[in-house]
Amino acid sequence: MSQQDFGDLAGSAANMGAPTVDMGDTSQAGMGAGAGMSAGVSAGATGVVTSDASREAAVRAIGLVKDYGRGASLVHALRGIDISFEKGAFTAIMGPSGSGKSTLMHTLAGLDSVTRGTVLVGGRDITKLNDKQLTLMRRSTIGFIFQSFNLLPMFDAEQNILMPLTLAGRKPDRAWMDQLVSVLGLADRLHHRPSEMSGGQQQRVAIARALITRPDVVFADEPTGNLDSVSSSEVLTLMRRLVDETGQTIVMVTHDATAASYADRAVVLADGRIVADRSHPTAEEMSSLLTSIMENLAAQHTAEGNHRLAALAGSSAGQNGHGEHRASARHAWEA
C-alpha cells in the first residue's frame, strides 16, 4: 500500500476526469443554532434554495421530507432537510438512534423514496426516476459500502469486486482494477471467498467493489461497525486517502466520533433535522457534541411527557368536577 500506488491511482483517476480536491470553506457562518444547511446551500425566508456557484455539489437535497405510516402511527423521519455535499469531500453523517441519519443516506442514494422534496445526484433529480432508471443510475453513478460487507459468499474476491460491472454488462478496466487491488492490499486475496478472509479484508473488497465503476459518490453505511479497532483504522485511513488523492466523494453514516474525525465535515441529525454542521471535526468535539444533543433530547422528551401527563390529569380533574356539579344540581332539583 505504497505512496507510489496511491500516486498511480490518483493519476489514473485524473485521466478519467475525477474532480480535483478543493474543500473550500465549509463553515456555517451566519447560521442560527440548530440550523444545518451546508455552506454551499442556503434558504431564504421564501424557502428558495440557492447555491454558491463557486462550488459544485456531488449530491444535494432540497426540502427533503420523509414520513412513515399515517394517522396515529405517523413518523416524521426527515423534516425539511436542505444540504449539499461537495465533490471531492469526505462527509460524516451522525446522530443518535432514530435521528434519521440512515434514512437520509438511503433517500440520497435512491434506495428509499421521498415524501416531498428533491434529491440531485450530479445535477439530476433522482426523485423523478422510475425503478429501472434508479437501478441503472446506481450502477453507474453511486458506490455503496455496507457495515455487513454484503459480499456474495459463493464468489471469490475478484468476482465480488467486478460484480457491478458484470450486472451492467460492462467490461472491466484491468488497469484500474489492478491499481485498486494494489492500493487496497488485495493481490494475494483475489481468489479467496469471503469465508476465507478477515473482516478487514472483506471490507477492503467491498471498497474496491464500490469504486470499480468510478462512481460520482460513494455512500458508506457504518463501514467500520463490524471491525476491530485496528481494521477500522486501516479502512478509514484508506477512505481518507482515496478522497485526498483521487478526489473521490464519500458520504459516511456513523455513530462513532473517532470515525467522524477522519472526515472533512460532520453533519449531526436529531429528530429528523440537522442540528449541527462542523468542518474538520475532532473525535473529542463530536463525542461532546453528541452527548450534549442526547442530553437535550432526553430533557425535551421528559418535559413533553410531563406536559402530556399534566394535561391528562387536568382533563380528568375537570371531568370529575363536572360530574360532581351535575350530581349536586340533580340532587337539588329532586329535593
Is 33 a residue whose pLDDT tops 60? no
- Please report whether residue 216 resides in a domain: yes
Per-residue model confidence as pLDDT tens digits over 217-260: 999 999 998 899 999 999 999 999 889 988 899 999 999 999 99
The CATH number of residue 98's host domain is 3.40.50.300
- Please report whether residue 175 resides in a domain: yes
Q: Is the domain of 40 the same as that of 180?
A: yes
- Please report whether residue 256 resides in a domain: yes
Asked if residues 68 and 98 have their Cβ atoms less than 8 Å apart, the reply is no
Helix, strand, coil content of the chain in percent (nearest 5): 45, 20, 35
- Please report whether residue 87 resides in a domain: yes
- Please report whether residue 287 resides in a domain: no
- Please report whether residue 10 resides in a domain: yes
- Please report whether residue 286 resides in a domain: no
Q: Is the domain of 116 the same as that of 236?
A: yes
Q: Is the domain of 133 the same as that of 27?
A: yes
Sheet-wide strand order for 57-68: 75-86, 57-68, 116-121, 124-125
Of 241, 262, 281, which one is at a domain's C-terminal end?
281
Range of the domain at 329: 292-335
> Using the 8-state DSSP alphabet, how is residue 102 labeled?
H
- Residue bearing the bigger pLDDT, 303 or 41: 303
Burial 232-247 (b: 16+ CB within 10 A, else e): bbbbbebbbbbbbbbb
Q: How confident is the model at residue 179 (pLDDT cuts 50, 70, 90)?
A: confident
pLDDT of residue 322: 56
pLDDT of residue 317: 59
Across the range 111-120, mean pLDDT stands at: 96
Q: Is the domain of 17 the same as that of 126?
A: yes
Q: Is the domain of 249 the same as that of 322?
A: no
3-12, 134-143, 298-307, 326-335: least confidently modelled range: 3-12
Task: Work out how many domains the chain is built from and give that number.
Answer: 2
High-pLDDT (> 70) share of the chain, %: 76
pLDDT of residue 59: 96
Q: Is the domain of 237 the same as that of 322?
A: no
Q: Is the domain of 92 the same as that of 120?
A: yes
- Residue bearing the bigger pLDDT, 163 or 19: 163
Across the range 25-50, mean pLDDT stands at: 35
Q: Is the domain of 333 the same as that of 308?
A: yes
* CA nearest to 59, candidates 262, 267, 276, 273: 267
Residue 274 pairs in a beta bridge with: 269
Is 286 a residue whose pLDDT tops 90? yes
* CA nearest to 46, candidates 6, 95, 75, 82: 82
Q: How confident is the model at residue 190 (pLDDT cuts 50, 70, 90)?
A: very high
Q: Is the domain of 63 the same as that of 170?
A: yes
Q: Is the domain of 262 the same as that of 322?
A: no
| Cβ neighbours for 114, distance < 8 A, ≥ 6 positions apart | 64, 65, 66, 78, 107, 127
pLDDT of residue 332: 46
pLDDT of residue 327: 53
CA angle 189, 192, 198 (to 5 degrees): 75
DSSP E strands in 185-309: the ranges are 217-221, 249-253, 265-270, 273-279
pTM of the predicted model, to two decimals? Answer: 0.74
Across the range 301-326, mean pLDDT stands at: 66
- Which phi and psi angles does 318 have, rounded to 5°? -65, -40
Q: How confident is the model at residue 320 (pLDDT cuts 50, 70, 90)?
A: low
Across the range 208-212, mean pLDDT stands at: 94
- Please report whether residue 194 resides in a domain: yes
Q: Is the domain of 264 the same as that of 319?
A: no
Segment of 82-96, 301-315, 318-332 carrying the highest mean pLDDT? 82-96
Q: Is the domain of 190 the same as that of 210?
A: yes
pLDDT of residue 302: 80
User: What is the total residue count of the chain?
Assistant: 335
